[in-house]
Chains A and B, each alone.
Chain A
Amino acid sequence: MTPSLLHPGLILILGGFLYPLLKQPFRSLWALLLPLAALLLVWLIPDGHFLSLSFMGYNLQPMVLDSLSRLFITVFSLMTFAGVLFCYKQAGLTELSAALVYAGAAIGVTLAGDLLTLFIFWEFMALASTLVIWSAKNKKSWHAGMRYISMHLLGGVILMVGICAYTNETGNILFTAMHPDSFSTWLILIGFLVNVAAPPFSAWLPDAYPEASFSGMVFLSAFTTKTAVYVLLRGFPGTELLIYIGLFMIFYGIIYALLENDMRRILAYSIVNQVGFMVCGIGIGTELALNGAAAHAFTHIIYKALLLMSAGSVLYMTGKRKCSDLGGLFQTMPLTCLCGVIGALSISAFPLTSGFVSKSMMTQAAGSEHMLMVWLLLQAASAGVFLHAGIKFPWFVFFQKDSGLRPGEPPLNMRLAMIFFAVLCIVIGIIPGVFYQMLPYTIDYVPYTADHVVLQLHLLLFAGLAFFVMLPMMQRTLTISLDFDWFYRVFLFRIWSAVLAGTRFLQRLLQGLRQLLVPVLLGQIIRFCGQRGLLVRDVQTGIVVLLAVLFLMAYMLFYLING
């Protein structure tokens, strides 16, 4: 069998279904080898489209490989491997099985050359990721999962309607670049934007992801939003609207993360923020910007997973997730702290880390296109990332006050996964050449120039100064921040409660009327139709004979008169 006949996504999906049926130690080995097999395959298969199918007269292309899809599948596979390594001893069967299916579905979306295949894997992803959330097995995760799946099924319906309309309009089901200039393409774009956590759908992400288990969120952070970035890259490059959506997401993520007390919700808002950079880059649409968006998706998956592994390790070892309960953990969890700091420096795009070599491409693209406002906002946002994630997360979790907690380092497999991704963050940051060769467009971009490094340090270090100067205003409080989800968690609930109250009032009104009217009506019915009622009263035979004689006489009388 040639490698091109094997679908890397299906391997992970089928492998995920088989996973719970296997016995240890093969089960863990199986879970670790599956993503490596997908990685190997994607580098053995050449560019092109394979496994063509015909369905209802349409030509489906479930496996199209090029440099962009290979880049995303590579990072999805690496992520799955590191995620499994992080939790194969600690996570439950359902969670790991669902995570493998989830990763496979994400790869399936990435390989899809037509919209129907894309949609099928898209929905698989929604179902599997919900199972990952539910695997935390508590009431909060159950409710969060229900809200999550409702939002994603809604997005799926919008996408499906868009795909049907698009196919009907164009007679084409292949997934190619399009413009939001018709009903169908708008619906497809909205369907994609739901998954990318764009406004007003941003709230599903910080609502649902932090309710997953300590390891579940590591998987969740990687696939849904990044496959959405991928489909936007392929489907809507250069759509100007995406610049503004991306900028909104960037600042929404920063501001809400600044207000947040839960360490994993801080990182969840930070996902929206980082994806905002990518969406903005896709909107700018030049080759440099698109390369930047793709590169940033790659590096983001790695450093965000690293940050969440670090946060997950703290949650696993302490059972706590609120910044107000944490602090001082660097003393007994130095490795977890170091890995968290490397992740934090990478997300902040510090020189010598992966974020520096990817994010700067998008800012550079805005500059090259002379988009002054966009460039200024992206620079401010870069400083803001250091503020909300780069310093805030490690500071409040590992430093600030001494909480008195003295947890040890997490188990070996968790430490190895963190080390693996921390090393990747640094290696990509120091030697970006190989990484740049994997990007979709061949461009001549040099990240390490003296002025770029120095000016980036200025931006970040003075953002750091602002953090410590403003620290008294940033003390943690036991609060959450209302978001758009308030509308469907509270506002719609209140409307529903009002409707219920209205129906209860109507019910009481009708009950009152019944009590008032029924005795009167019943009395009248009894009067006429009761046992002694006028209409049903027993009539004696003599009276009947008399009546018959009277009728007969009357008849005869009429007959005689009319004679």
Chain B
Amino acid sequence: MNESDKHWLYRTTSRRTLWITGIAILIVTVISELFIKTHSHFAITGFFAFHAGFGFITCVAMVLFAKLLGFLVKRRDDYYDS
């Protein structure tokens, strides 16, 4: 299928645009923290961009853990059929 026949979401150029837009949104939301007064229950969680970093790191950790666990527990999807 030609690039022009594809839906714009599937075009190679759109992918780049989407990444740039997404990263721009991320930057704007992080910067916005500078302009609001935050209140944290705990001293160690109150620093700038804690939630952003925590969300990213914990999600990467969860994907890696799932990948590792997958080596142990994944089976072909007809496993129980046999």
Interface residues, chain A, CB within 8 Å of chain B? 251, 254-255, 258-259, 261-262, 322, 328, 330-331, 367-368, 370, 372, 375-376, 379-380, 383-384, 387, 399, 402, 450-451, 454-470, 473-474, 477-483, 489-490
Contacts and interface: CB of A to CB of B under 8 A. Distances in A.
A481 B9 CA distance: 32
Given A384-B62, A461-B25, A463-B55, 11 more contacts: A259-B66, A261-B77, A367-B42, A372-B44, A376-B54, A402-B6, A458-B51, A463-B56, A465-B22, A479-B77, A482-B73
A481 B71 CA distance: 10
B20 interface: no
A368 B54 contact: no
Contacts of B54: 376, 379-380, 383, 459
B25 A399 contact: no
30 contacts: A261-B77, A262-B77, A322-B77, A328-B7, A367-B41, A367-B42, A372-B42, A375-B42, A376-B54, A379-B54, A379-B58, A380-B58, A383-B54, A383-B59, A451-B36, A454-B29, A454-B33, A455-B51, A458-B52, A459-B52, A462-B52, A462-B55, A465-B56, A470-B59, A477-B74, A480-B77, A480-B79, A481-B74, A482-B75, A483-B73
Given A459-B52, A461-B26, A481 B42 contact: no
A479 B76 contact: yes
Given A473-B67, A478-B76, A480-B79, A457 B6 contact: no
Nearest to B68: A255
Interface residues of B, number: 44
Contacts of B37: 450-451
Interface in B27-82: 29-30, 32-33, 36-39, 41-42, 44-45, 49, 51-56, 58-60, 62-67, 69-70, 73-77, 79-80
**Interface SS, B side:** helix
Interface of B: 6-7, 9-10, 22, 25-26, 29-30, 32-33, 36-39, 41-42, 44-45, 49, 51-56, 58-60, 62-67, 69-70, 73-77, 79-80
Nearest to B26: A461
The 8 closest A-B pairs by CB, nearest first: A466-B59, A367-B41, A380-B58, A458-B51, A258-B66, A462-B55, A459-B55, A462-B56
Contacts of A489: 80
B20 to A, nearest CB: 13
Contacts of B25: 461
Q: Which of B9, B38, B80 has the most CB of A within 10 A?
A: B80
Contacts of B67: 473
A370 B49 CA distance: 21
B63 A473 contact: yes
Q: Which of B10, B38, B59 has the most CB of A within 10 A?
A: B59
**Interface SS, A side:** helix
Given A402-B7, A478-B77, A479-B77, A466 B56 contact: yes
Contacts of A490: 80
Q: Which of B7, B45, B49, B52 has the most CB of A within 10 A?
A: B52
Contacts of A460: 55
A372 B46 CA distance: 12
B57 to A, nearest CB: 8
A520 B79 CA distance: 51
Q: Which of B29, B32, B66, B77 has the most CB of A within 10 A?
A: B66
A331 B60 contact: no
Contact of A462 (B53, B77, B80): B53
A467 B55 contact: no
B77 to A, nearest CB: 5
A375 B80 contact: no
Nearest to A451: B38
Contact of A368 (B22, B41, B56, B62): B41
B11 to A, nearest CB: 11
Given A463-B56, A465-B56, A474-B63, A458 B73 contact: no
Contacts of B60: 466, 469-470
Contacts of B22: 464-465, 468
